Structure 1
Amino acid sequence: MSMAKETPLLPVEDVREAALFFVVGALCFLAALATLSAKSTYGAAKSWTAEVQGELTVSLPDVDRRGADEARKVIAETEGVREARVLTKAEIDALLEPNFGSRGLPDSLPLPQLVAVKADPAVADMGPTIARRLTEAGFANAVDEHADWAGDVRRVLGVARLTALIAVALLASTAVAVIAFATHAALLARRDIVDVLHLAGARDRFIAGLFERRFWVLGLRAGTVGALLALGAAALMIFTVQAHGSRAGLLPELSLDFLDLIILVVTPVIAGFASRFAARITVIRALKGMM
């Protein structure tokens, strides 16, 4: 004798939830992509700022190669300087290539000699110190301390990180609000089933549990689709950046590491819990209003 299959109290499929699935999946996609982009950009910029700490470029106009070597000796003798070297003509042309092309500037146009300096990041005011010593030695100079640029980058990163967090919070709040609205609509559409369950002695927690499980599964599925789409978008960006090679020098070196995969795995779980929480609170509050 075969046992009859148990009939669920709520319909297994509801065409009205297709739109909700799309909205939740899109919000999860945007939230995961915003988190991945903010993390990758912040990590790349943080690595770049760490590399330029203690680096300086000294410009020496109106001197030849021999004069640049004498200035380099003055710089190398400065306390806190680890290395100082005069850039070659080829290195200067490589620096100018993004703006002036591979041919560089005409030889008739005088260019200042450049000295690349690496100093101890712990020593303060290296730029003014080097400029003062060169001036005392009779060299006209202009010192560019790369740490000044790093400070600007850090400030911009702080604003970008805060903006990304606000965006993720708004997307999560929007998802919860949409799920709450959909849950309330589903509850009203099944008012007859809820009334029968009340007459049978079912408690509000039991009825809320039916909707909780339904929207928990919906959140997990939609979150999984959104996370997979975010993974595909991130992989496409990484492939595009790597395909351009040196021409993408101003772009951050994006990559997918273990923490990125954790973010993608956690996204569906958070979406499921958010859907379940929104459904429970909405149903319990609505049932109390029906009594």
Structure 2
Amino acid sequence: MAKETPLLPVEDAREMALFFVVGALCFLAALATLSAKSTYGAARSWTAEVEGELTVSLPDADRRGAEEARQLIEATEGVREARLLSKQEIDALLEPNFGSRGLPESLPLPQLIAVTAEPDTQFMGPTLERRLTEAGYAHAVDEHADWAGDVRRMLAIARLVALTAVALLASTAVAVIAFATHAALLARRDIVDVLHLAGARDRYIAGLFERRFWLLGLRAGAVGALLALGAAAAMIFGVHSSGARSGLLPVLSLDIVDLLILVLTPVIAGLAARIAARVTVIRSLKSVM
């Protein structure tokens, strides 16, 4: 039995450019989504660590006076722990800015007390300020939650920017596919006319293009997802091999959610290509009827 000849050519050199564009857009969209998810996770982890943390600075106190202030703070209701930092710990905090040598010995440093409040304790900063003032200590209370609020605001903006970027990339892919579908329809106008004469309906003709671009979207999306997986793996390897501290920088981990994003990328690309092809063909055929 002779093999059935497809109505549309199996290979089309003009679709290779479309394959490249859709694959690149899928790569960028998947990488942007992974980065946004990782940034959100890193910021949430950091803000969870600093919630309820305070630092009390005593510029005029000696070691003995700082210890008495520490005991006063630890006795305050709502305080879980108060720890007086040693000279070595203070030097470690200053090392990123002043190097391993630290500050000169002649330069006086304030005594620092790291305070951890009980969960859901409110107004701990003003409470400690009032108690230290009543005890006659010159002090400065830095509540880390203030910094966490700034991080949360920046996180919301970063998440909005990332989602906007993903939406723009997806819209660009759909527009490119719609344009390519329309061009393919015009290039095969003779085949479409013959099908119309043979009694084929618009839905049948649209289905031919649907399947064509559905498979193209799946393949291009799969290539883009694999490239995003490779880029994420390279970044993970680079961070782990250097041993550098990441701080608030996003650290890709390729957990279940990350892998789900990569798996869904070609499916979404295929569906977007299929819908774009169907809508474009139906509208084009109706406009010439």
Matches within 5 A, 1:1-291: 3-291=1-289
Does structure 1 retain, via aligned residues, the 8 Å contact 2:29–2:169?
yes
* Alpha-carbon distance between aligned partners in 2 of 1:34 and 1:254, rounded to the nearest angstrom: 11
* Alpha-carbon distance between aligned partners in 2 of 1:265 and 1:70, rounded to the nearest angstrom: 59
* Alpha-carbon distance between aligned partners in 2 of 1:252 and 1:164, rounded to the nearest angstrom: 13
Does structure 1 retain, via aligned residues, the 8 Å contact 2:181–2:277?
yes
Deviation for aligned residue 1:252 = 3.4
Deviation for aligned residue 1:120 = 1.7
TM-superposition CA deviations, 1:164-219 (whole Å, max 9, x none): 11111111111111100000000000000000001111111110000000000000
Does structure 2 retain, via aligned residues, the 8 Å contact 1:241–1:251?
no
Structure 2 alignment gaps of length 5 or more: none
Aligned partner letter, 1:235: A
Structure 1 alignment gaps of length 5 or more: none
Does structure 1 retain, via aligned residues, the 8 Å contact 2:34–2:252?
no
The runs of 4+ residues in structure 1 deviating greater than 6 Å are none
Does structure 2 retain, via aligned residues, the 8 Å contact 1:42–1:161?
yes
TM-score of the two chains, using structure 2 as the length reference: 0.98
* Alpha-carbon distance between aligned partners in 2 of 1:77 and 1:254, rounded to the nearest angstrom: 42
Aligned partner letter, 1:264: L
TM-score of the two chains, using structure 1 as the length reference: 0.97
TM-superposition CA deviations, 1:116-152 (whole Å, max 9, x none): 0000231211111101111111110001101000000
* Alpha-carbon distance between aligned partners in 2 of 1:32 and 1:180, rounded to the nearest angstrom: 21
TM-superposition CA deviations, 1:86-124 (whole Å, max 9, x none): 001111111011111111112111100000000023121
Deviation for aligned residue 1:246 = 3.6
Percent pairwise identity: 82
Aligned partner letter, 1:81: V
Secondary structure, in 3 states, of the residue corresponding to 1:57?
Answer: strand
Secondary structure, in 3 states, of the residue corresponding to 1:82?
Answer: strand
Deviation for aligned residue 1:250 = 4.7
* Alpha-carbon distance between aligned partners in 2 of 1:247 and 1:220, rounded to the nearest angstrom: 38
Aligned partner letter, 2:9: P
Aligned partner letter, 1:10: L
Deviation for aligned residue 1:47 = 0.9
Secondary structure, in 3 states, of the residue corresponding to 2:142?
Answer: strand
Deviation for aligned residue 1:38 = 0.3
* Alpha-carbon distance between aligned partners in 1 of 2:154 and 2:115, rounded to the nearest angstrom: 26
Does structure 2 retain, via aligned residues, the 8 Å contact 1:82–1:120?
yes
Deviation for aligned residue 1:55 = 0.4
Deviation for aligned residue 1:247 = 4.6
* Alpha-carbon distance between aligned partners in 2 of 1:165 and 1:40, rounded to the nearest angstrom: 13
Deviation for aligned residue 1:77 = 1.1
* Alpha-carbon distance between aligned partners in 1 of 2:118 and 2:250, rounded to the nearest angstrom: 26
Deviation for aligned residue 1:265 = 0.2
TM-superposition CA deviations, 1:11-53 (whole Å, max 9, x none): 0000000110011011101110110000001001101101111
Does structure 1 retain, via aligned residues, the 8 Å contact 2:53–2:117?
yes
